[in-house]
Amino acid sequence: MATNGGSQTNGTSRKPNVVIVGGSLGGLFAGVALKTHGYNTTLLERTPENLLHNQGAGIVAGGDTLEFFKRYDRTGKPVAVPSYKRIYLDQKGDIIHEEVNRQNMTSWDLCYYLLRANYDRVDSPYLEGGKLPEIRPTDGMINYVYGATVTGIEDKGDYVAVSYKRKREDGTEELCAVNADLLVAADGPSSTIRGILEPQVKRTYAGYCVIRGTVPELEGSEAALEVFRERFCFFHAPGIQNLTYTIAGEHGTTERNRRLLNFVWYANFPEGSPELEKLMTDKNGRRRHITIPPGMIAPEAWDMVKQMGKEKLPPQMAEMAEKTKNPFVQCITDAITPKNLFMGDKVVLVGDSLANFRPHTVASTSQAAFDVMCLVDWLDGKIDRKEFIKQSMQFARAIQDMGVKIGDRSQFEKLPIDEYIKDRNFASIKREDREYPAWTLDGLDEI
Ligand SMILES: Cc1cc2nc3c(=O)[nH]c(=O)nc-3n(C[C@H](O)[C@H](O)[C@H](O)COP(=O)(O)OP(=O)(O)OC[C@H]3O[C@@H](n4cnc5c(N)ncnc54)[C@H](O)[C@@H]3O)c2cc1C
């Protein structure tokens, strides 16, 4: 396991030095790919511990997430649990529509630990059945620094000067600096780097929240397992969408009966409403802006949510809310940056810092993987700058816009179920088969 600020070297240092801001999936995709292509990287993550907290969340593994692992994973550990059918329930819990459709489900923590193994050789129980990756002589040097909050960047002509605050073991802080030939901003939807470069871009609340949690497969009732096991199960009602599916269990196990049932429940909470205030005020009385993390929801807020579940959800889905021990809440937000290259191409935005997709797109993780794969293709001369901008920006613009449209249709319009099924199928079109509207090219030549 790498120590804080530790590095792994192979003695080569011909390629540019890259600083990556953010050590979640986007930053780690960048770290793993750049290391493999021989770039030296320093990754700065603000979380004060070596490992990020498990987000306890399922992720639909989109094509580009799977492609990333196919290209770069050296652990050999399977990343996804397949789901073979999409089914739609009515409020009584009866199936009203089903279609055969293979989709791959994974979990945030499995992706995270496999990426850490590949980046700085962090060993973990997630590698059971896999292996710690070998070091290759062609690898770039790596340096994972935690407790490092980036506060500023400055264009120095040939390089970017990056300032950050570093938490010492004793809790005090020191001011640090590092220079980058290239800075990759993977610092998420509230990106500090974007805030410096494009302060007019705001992250805005969409008027609804997502309530999420997991239940061990073995704790599900027969009725619940019948619809959630290896199924992608949906329910729509005015102001509500719920989807529940099976994901890998503890330490990434995909073994039957040891997996988790993962629910994602969108519910409208108008801005300024007493219900939103109640939901977003944590158990210590602190009003959280965007997220109530696992373990922090106030008991009275959770009672309100469970009551809503009993009244409005099919019984199998209400059961998930009753049984989960680790619920968490996120406000759904929107943000899109007009361009992804800054400071004479020395700063690039990837993943959620570039475009904060609504989760209905099931494409956020894939976006980060795709951005990084395009970036490496450009750096290695496989595609030119124009093509890099076109590929990454068109995808960001088209999917961000689609997320707003299908999210708003689902939450704020009352449509026949066929319309929601159509939206879901549209969101699932593979990136390479997607036709982008012409407006997604607007102004790209000026970047
Ligand atoms: C609970 C949860 C559930 C999710 N479910 C899904 C899903 O089902 N499907 C899907 O595709 N995606 C999902 N996502 C989103 C997915 O995790 C992200 O899209 C993916 O991680 C790529 O985002 P990112 O790395 O660009 O940004 P983030 O994941 O937001 O990471 C940003 C990182 O930057 C760090 N950071 C921020 N500011 C600074 C700073 N100033 N200095 C240093 N570090 C900084 C943060 O601590 C964080 O670790 C989910 C995310 C969460 C949190």
- Provide the pLDDT confidence category of residue 417 given band limits of 50, 70 and 90: very high
User: Is the distance from the beta carbon of residue 57 to the nearest atom of ligand 1 less than 6 Å?
Assistant: yes
Give me the pLDDT at residue 11, please: 44
CA 188 – ligand 1 centroid, Å? 5
> pLDDT tens digits for 141-187?
999 999 999 999 999 999 999 999 998 878 899 999 999 999 999 99
Distance CA 249, CA 255 (A): 8
> pLDDT tens digits for 267-280?
999 999 999 999 99
> pLDDT tens digits for 187-241?
999 999 999 999 999 999 999 999 999 999 999 999 999 999 988 899 999 999 9
Q: Is the pLDDT of residue 297 over 80?
A: yes
Q: What DSSP line would sit under 368-421, residue for residue?
A: HHHHHHHHHHHHTTSS-HHHHHHHHHHHHHHHHHHHHHHHHHHHH----HHHHH
CA 24 – ligand 1 centroid, Å? 5
Q: Is the pLDDT of residue 5 over 60?
A: no
Q: Which atom of ligand 1 is nearest to the CA of 52?
A: 49
Residue closest via CA to ligand 1's atom 7 equals 59
CA 223 – ligand 1 centroid, Å? 34
User: Is the distance from the beta carbon of residue 294 to the nearest atom of ligand 1 less than 6 Å?
Assistant: no
Distance CA 245, CA 229 (A): 7
Distance CA 421, CA 416 (A): 9
Distance CA 232, CA 104 (A): 10
User: Is the distance from the beta carbon of residue 186 to the nearest atom of ligand 1 less than 6 Å?
Assistant: yes
Helix (H, G, I), strand (E, B) or coil at 65: helix
Helix (H, G, I), strand (E, B) or coil at 4: coil
Q: Is the pLDDT of residue 56 over 80?
A: no
Q: Is the pLDDT of residue 113 over 70?
A: yes
> pLDDT tens digits for 401-410?
999 999 999 9
Q: Is the pLDDT of residue 323 over 90?
A: yes
User: How crowded is the C-beta side of 42, counted as CA atoms within 13 Å?
Assistant: 20
CA 359 – ligand 1 centroid, Å? 12
User: Is the distance from the beta carbon of residue 364 to the nearest atom of ligand 1 less than 6 Å?
Assistant: yes
Enumerate domains of the chain plus CATH numbers: 7-73+109-202+335-413 (3.50.50.60), 82-103+204-333 (3.30.9.60)
User: Is the distance from the beta carbon of residue 192 to the nearest atom of ligand 1 less than 6 Å?
Assistant: yes
